[in-house]
Amino acid sequence: MIRVSGREAITIVAPLLRTSIPLAAFPSHRLRRVGLIDAKSGERVDEALCVVMRAPRSYTGEDVVELSCHGSPALLRMVTLWIVAGGARLAAPGEFTRRAFLNGRLDLAQAEAVALMIGARTDRAVALAARALAGGLSDRVRVLRDALVDVIAGLEVALDFPEEGVGHDVGDARAAVTLLRADVERWLAAARHGRVVHDGIAVALVGPPNAGKSSLLNVLLGRDRAIVSPVPGTTRDVVEGTIALAGVPVRLLDTAGLDVPRDAIEAEGIRRSRRAMEESDLLLVVIDGSALPDQRVLEETADHARIIVRAKCDLPAHPAAAARHDAMPASAVTGEGIEALLERLAHEVEGRAAAAGDEGGIVASLRQIELLDALSKSLAAGESALEAAPLEAALVDLKDALSHTGALLGVDVGDAVLDRIFATFCLGK
């Protein structure tokens, strides 16, 4: 689909179309079939569906023409270049959404939700982004902002007319700020969980060589991703694949067996295993259930969040391995224990993304999470200033808080902030 937005959109696209009525006379928001022609040769290059959406009822709030062509990248490039030759220019990443924001079609929190929607990888992440797009976070912040303005105004009146007993009672103001801060704290917790749903978690499979890590990875992924062989030290590099558990993307990282390296390549592989281990949220520590458990790996991973897997449980168990009651038996050959392992993993994931029900689930950009955090801190500072310090001091903190709500909604944010936000979008959005 090619989208053209701006005052000249219709005039620029018109010469490229063969239509029964002129493009300028197209009814708004009606899809029509058109011929696409090479304006120079007059030759027809494609049939397309075309819609004109007139300002301000369009995504960007400007006149928009959209052409749905047959989709060959060569064709799309050709038509795009003709449109550019006619006087348009290529859109910057996120520019349509930026214009939508500047024209008041979306607030900034919603504009950021567009990027979250594009990046969503599971049904659950999509649902969270949809809620944000519908204004989930903005609505809450807007209500809080109104309440905060009331408190600030009340305190300023009290400050100006100390004798009259008008304006906010300081005790009431403090109680109001306490409630607002509690709201923000809840949103923050929900947003951090939402972030887990959006970003997913990383789970590294670690263990001694030949324990069955790669075989386990393949069964968990349901496809033959990593090389498996009876030779210890088969996996050298980190091999990964993603599955969705409890609606959360889970990146599984298969690693080189942890052992004394026999050469430089193995040493590098083991270094990468340790790095993957550090970067993971959870470890699957795989030990070969038919052999004496490797104590070093168990000790090395003791401080990590981990699930111990006694692999190859189809083979006769080694008594020392069987004695480890904290290990979950699993077999990549018979499939025994795999279902239970997936359930346990899902449970762990759910714990990290929990409270999705709280606050209806919030997903926020990292910028928004930072701002919510700053908002909560300013409210806390205002709260304690209202206890002891002069009113003026409390007002400074509360006004800081107010400016953070503004930044969340995109009130008075500068170009630099907008550049940073929209640079993360992809082209055409």
Ligand X SMILES: Nc1nc2c(ncn2[C@@H]2O[C@H](COP(=O)(O)OP(=O)(O)OP(=O)(O)O)[C@@H](O)[C@H]2O)c(=O)[nH]1
- By the criterion CB under 5 A, which residues form the site for Mg ion? 213-214, 234-235
The yes or no reply on residue 214 touching ligand X (CB under 6 A) is yes
Distances (CA, A) of 423 to 347, 420, 426: 36, 5, 8
Can you tell me whether residue 206 is helix, strand or coil? strand
Among 60, 331, 376, 405, binds ligand X (CB under 6 A): 331
Report the partner that residue 219 touches, choosing among Mg ion, ligand X, none (CB closer than 5 to 8 A by kind): none
The yes or no reply on residue 220 touching ligand X (CB under 6 A) is no
User: Is 58 within 8 Å of 104 (Cβ atoms)?
Assistant: no
Nearer to Mg ion (CB atom), residue 234 or residue 403? 234
Contact letters for ligand X, residues 98-117 (x by CB under 6 A): --------------------
Of 92, 108, 89, nearest to 100 by C-alpha is: 108
Q: Cβ of residue 287: shortest distance to ligand X, in angstroms?
A: 10
Of 240, 199, 182, 127, nearest to 353 by C-alpha is: 199
Q: Cβ of residue 234: shortest distance to Mg ion, in angstroms?
A: 5
Q: Are strands 31-37 and 17-18 parallel, antiparallel or unpaired?
A: antiparallel
Contact letters for ligand X, residues 226-245 (x by CB under 6 A): --xxx-xxxx----------
Sheet containing strand 201-206, edge to edge, reads 239-245, 248-254, 201-206, 282-288, 306-311, 327-329
* Residue nearest to ligand X according to CB distances in the complex: 257
The yes or no reply on residue 58 touching ligand X (CB under 6 A) is no
The yes or no reply on residue 257 touching ligand X (CB under 6 A) is yes
Among 314, 350, 373, 400, binds ligand X (CB under 6 A): 314
Nearer to ligand X (CB atom), residue 209 or residue 249? 209
Nearer to ligand X (CB atom), residue 200 or residue 257? 257
Q: At what angle do helices 338-352 and 213-221 cross, to 10 degrees?
A: 80
Q: Cβ of residue 210: shortest distance to ligand X, in angstroms?
A: 5
The strand ranges marked E within 218-323 are 239-245, 248-254, 282-288, 306-311
How far apart (Å, rounded) are the C-alpha atoms in residues 296 and 326?
16
Q: Give Cβ neighbours of residue 89 (< 8 Å, ≥ 6 apart).
A: none
Residues that bind ligand X (CB under 6 A): 209-215, 228-230, 232-235, 256-257, 311-312, 314-315, 331-333
